[in-house]
A and B are shown apart, each in its own frame.
Chain A
Amino acid sequence: SQQGEEDPQALSIQEGENATMNCSYKTSINNLQWYRQNSGRGLVHLILIRSNEREKHSGRLRVTLDTSKKSSSLLITASRAADTASYFCATDARETSGSRLTFGEGTQLTVNP
């Protein structure tokens, strides 16, 4: 079963608006990562937040992590048409060995020019 579940499944906004995507997971984690996938391409790593961190920024990206609620959010500020992609959260569960990530089913973001 999928460890992470993204919400919403699809999001459509206008250029310049902010986009917020949420991820919930089930077990204790070491860290949580967000990836972007453009149509027909492989995934690209965006940001990693460790279990002892609450918030992290990278450019226009802001990630929060609430381990008590087992949830994370990805905020993209001042969105651009080029941000149109699917966004996946991936968790590194403490009970699994190795560098194994479990991916959610993704949020499809469409940014309209």
Chain B
Amino acid sequence: DAGITQSPRYKITETGRQVTLMCHQTWSHSYMFWYRQDLGHGLRLIYYSAAADITDKGEVPDGYVVSRSKTENFPLTLESATRSQTSVYFCASSESANPTYEQYFGPGTRLTVT
């Protein structure tokens, strides 16, 4: 029972490079989310998806791209990484939206942009 996994767990990249963070869940949850957590702060929503091929912007979407061709995968791409995108990225999934269900979080990807 893998649950929700993220890869890589740690990534160092240079400014301007494209980076893709992977997220995979085994529960067939409809909803998936990407958050970023900056040191000492809470989570901010980047993008979310209600189902395959349905995505929407969250609070801080600029500089990020998502896709969801399959229910179980929700990759997050930084098209041209900037130092301000250094953060810990968490993927989460949820069974439903109405009413809001609990979200299940992956272990996170720590991204450093140099």
Contact = CB atoms under 8 A, between A and B. Distances in A.
A59 interface: no
Contacts, number: 70
A75 interface: no
B104 to A, nearest CB: 7
A113 interface: no
B106 to A, nearest CB: 5
Interface residues of B, number: 30
B41 A105 contact: yes
Interface stretch (A14-22, A63-71, A76-84, A96-104): A96-104
Q: In the complex, which of the residues B33, B96, B105 has the most CB atoms of chain A within 10 Å of its own CB atom?
A: B105
Contact of A42 (B59, B96, B107): B107
A40 to B, nearest CB: 8
19 contacts: A2-B42, A31-B99, A33-B102, A41-B108, A42-B108, A43-B103, A43-B105, A98-B31, A98-B50, A98-B56, A99-B33, A99-B94, A99-B96, A99-B98, A100-B100, A101-B103, A102-B59, A103-B42, A104-B42
